[in-house]
Amino acid sequence: MRVPAFLLVLLAAAGCAGSPPPMHAEGPGERAAPAGAAAQAGEVNLSSAGEFTTNDTGVIAYDRTLVPEGAQVSVTVESSAGATRTSLVAEGLLPGRHYGAHLHAKPCGGKPDDAGPHYQHHPGQITPASEVWLDFTTDADGAGRSTAKQDWAFDPARLPGSLVIHAKPTVTSGPQAGTAGDRVACLTLR
């Protein structure tokens, strides 16, 4: 199996740091920060990566037509001092396709809806200023990248649980704003 360079770097860094501390749910749509994250004056760093499977509810493909065998994704979230930067890198998806992608409130599960609604910094506001939208278009090899920047920081007591990849690009205005078609894959944030 070919391991992309971005995954090798993440895996090497994770191996040096040891296992991440366990996380637990605080309530519907809320997750506690890893032990020690709150002690760093509100700094939040989340990073997850993996190959989409159908038997691991932390990295799962729901639609093998749009997320082929061997597809992989990496997400990094850095949040502190009133700003958040989220980066996504994907490989092995369909070439030349536009996918929607958002951070969601809950971790992935066996069903697409298990990840809950979009994470919203300002509850009830369906905009890229309140949510984290990471739409991307894949190149001829099925690779894509996206970065989102917000002028707010995550509350370590209320973190997003997952990244969900959608079948269509995000609708940016009107009554359907924020929708992006079926949920085709999910990566639980750790």
pLDDT tens figures, 26-48: 333 444 444 333 435 579 999 99
Q: Which has more confidence, 83 or 22?
A: 83
Average pLDDT, the chain: 83
For the chain, list the strands marked E by DSSP: 25-27, 30-31, 44-51, 59-61, 72-80, 83-91, 98-104, 136-137, 144-150, 162-166, 183-188
Higher pLDDT, 50 or 54: 50
Residue 5 has pLDDT above 50, yes or no: no
- What whole-number percentage of the chain has pLDDT above 70? 78
Average of pLDDT values for 132-161? 96
pTM comes to: 0.79
What distance in Å separates the CA atoms of residue 132 and residue 69, rounded to the nearest whole number? 26
* pLDDT score for 41: 55
User: What pLDDT digit, counting tens, does each position of 85-140 carry?
Assistant: 999 999 999 999 999 999 999 999 999 999 999 999 999 999 999 999 999 999 99
> Residue 10 pLDDT > 60, yes or no?
no
pLDDT of residue 42: 75
Question: Alpha carbon of 64 to those of 26, 87, 94, 131, 171: distances in Å?
Answer: 32, 24, 10, 27, 23
Left (φ > 0), alpha (ψ -120 to 50) or beta: where does 135 sit?
beta
Give me the mean pLDDT over the 64-92 stretch.
96
- pLDDT for residue 182 is more than 80: yes
Cα 40 to Cα 116: distance, rounded to the nearest angstrom: 28
Mean pLDDT over 15-24 rounds to: 34
Residue 151: the pLDDT is 96
> pLDDT-derived band of residue 184, with 50, 70 and 90 as boundaries?
very high
Question: What's the distance, Cα to Cα, between the start and end of the chain in Å?
Answer: 24
pLDDT greater at residue 1 or residue 55: 55
Q: Which residues, in sequence order, are CB contacts of 5 under 8 Å at separation 6+? A: none
Distance (Å, whole) CA 36 – CA 117: 27
